[in-house]
Amino acid sequence: MPTPAPILATLTAAPTPGAAMHALVARLFPLGRSLTGPGVRETLAVLREYLPGLRVHEVPSGTPALDWTVPAEWIIRDAWVKNAAGERLIDFRQHNLHVLQYSTPVHGWFSRAELDEHLFSLPEQPELIPYRTSYYQPNWGFCLSHRQREQLQDEYYEVCIDSTLDEAGSLTYGELVLPGASEEEVLLSCHCCHPSLANDNLSGLAVAVFLAQELARQPRRYTYRFVFGPGTIGAIVWLSRHRDTVGHIRHGLVLTLLGGPGGFTYKQSRRATAEVDRTAALVLRDFGSPYAVRPWLPYGYDERQYCSPGFNLPVGCLSRTPFGEFTEYHTSADNLEFVRPEQLAESLRLAEALCTALERNYTYRNLSPYGEPQLGRRGLYKGVGGGQEGADWQMALLWLLNLSDGSRSLLDVAEQSGLALPLLHRAASALEGVGLLQPL
Model confidence pLDDT, tens digit, residues 88-110:
999 999 999 999 999 999 999 99
Residues in the chain: 440
Q: Mean pLDDT of all residues in the chain?
A: 94
**Strand 249-255 and strand 315-319: pairing?**
parallel
pLDDT for 10: 37
CA 182 to chain centre: 24
Q: Is 4 exposed, middle or buried (0-12, 13-18, 19+ CB in 10 A)?
A: exposed
Do the Cβ atoms of 328 and 334 come closer than 8 Å? yes
pLDDT for 381: 78
pLDDT for 15: 84
Locate the domains of the chain by residue range.
17-70+170-359, 74-166, 363-439
The C-alpha atoms of residue 142 and residue 120 are separated, in whole angstroms, by 6
377: left (phi over 0), alpha (psi -120 to 50) or beta: alpha
Q: Please, which residues have CB within 8 angstroms of residue 260's CB and are 6 or more apart in sequence? A: 199, 203, 320, 321, 326, 328, 334, 338, 339, 343
b/e per residue 343-381 (b: at least 16 CB within 10 A): bbbbbbebbbbbbbbbbbbbbbebeeeeeebebeeeebb
Angle at the Cα of 296 (from 293 to 301), degrees rounded to 5? 95
Q: Is 63 helix (H, G, I), strand (E, B) or coil?
A: coil
Low-confidence residues of the chain: pLDDT under 50 = 1-12, 383-389
pLDDT for 382: 65
Q: Which candidate, 11, 19, 14, places its Cα nearest to that of 348?
A: 19
Q: Please, which residues have CB within 8 angstroms of residue 314's CB and are 6 or more apart in sequence? A: 249, 250, 251, 252, 269, 271, 274, 275, 276, 277
- Helices 38-50 + 17-28 axis angle, to 10: 160
pLDDT for 389: 44
CATH value of 74-166 in 3.50.30.90, 2.60.120.10, 3.40.50.2300, 3.40.50.300: 3.50.30.90
pLDDT for 13: 52
The C-alpha atoms of residue 407 and residue 413 are separated, in whole angstroms, by 11
Q: Is 387 exposed, middle or buried (0-12, 13-18, 19+ CB in 10 A)?
A: exposed
Kindly report the backbone phi and psi dihedral angles of residue 278, in degrees, each rounded to the nearest multiple of 5, phi listed first. -70, -40
The CATH number assigned to the domain with range 363-439 reads: 1.10.10.10
pLDDT for 14: 58
pLDDT for 397: 96
Do the Cβ atoms of 187 and 254 come closer than 8 Å? no
Count Cα neighbours of 22 within 13 Å in the Cβ-side half-sphere: 19
Q: Which tens digits make up the pLDDT trace of 152-169?
A: 999 999 999 999 999 999
CATH value of 17-70+170-359 in 3.90.1150.10, 3.30.70.2190, 3.40.630.10, 3.30.565.10: 3.40.630.10
The C-alpha atoms of residue 207 and residue 192 are separated, in whole angstroms, by 13
